[in-house]
Amino acid sequence: MKPLRIAILGTASSGKSTLAEALARRFDTVWVPEYLREFVDVAQRIPVEADQIHIARTQRAREDEAAPRARRFLFCDTTPLMTAVYSRHYFGGIDAELAVLADAHRRDYDLTLLTAADIPWVADGLQRENEEVSITINRMLHEELAARGIAYVPVGGDADQRIVQAANALAAI
């Protein structure tokens, strides 16, 4: 049986990875880490505009590779939509192929969880911008979700509260 894909979106340092990993443990399944983090660690640099489509494609390919191992749910720590938001912010637009991947969000994910920026912000080496940019990205992400008609469930509070909120949303689908 094909697992339900659960997108976990949010700004830098909003707890996406922590939530994805915790939900995978709770539901005895797998999760797909954010490829951007690996890209930055391996390349030892922040991505440039030409890297955006590679990052989005790889993120999506890793989801496809993980899906056969998933039980009921596949938790995805970010999606190509988030790459599109960052591309719009840093490079002034979204290239055509990235736009197609971002447009598929409504079709490809059964639920979108949006992590609140209500936990202490922590810098993450080369990969992450400052807290002020995260505020801008959060606004842009909300605009992008609204423009694309993507429904989402906000999750916030401490780790336990987030898990309960997400589990309640999962029970409803």
Helix (H, G, I), strand (E, B) or coil at 96: helix
Query: Looking at the chain, which runs of residues are DSSP E strands?
Result: 4-9, 30-32, 73-77, 111-115, 153-155
Domains and CATH numbers, the chain: 4-171 (3.40.50.300)
The 10s digit of each residue's pLDDT in 35-50 is 998 999 999 999 999 9
Q: Give yes or no for a contact between 67 and 79, defined as CB atoms under 8 angstroms apart.
A: no
Radius of gyration of the chain (CA): 15
The reported pTM is: 0.94
The 10s digit of each residue's pLDDT in 83-121 is 999 999 999 999 999 999 999 999 999 999 999 988 766
**Average pLDDT value for residue range 163-168:** 97
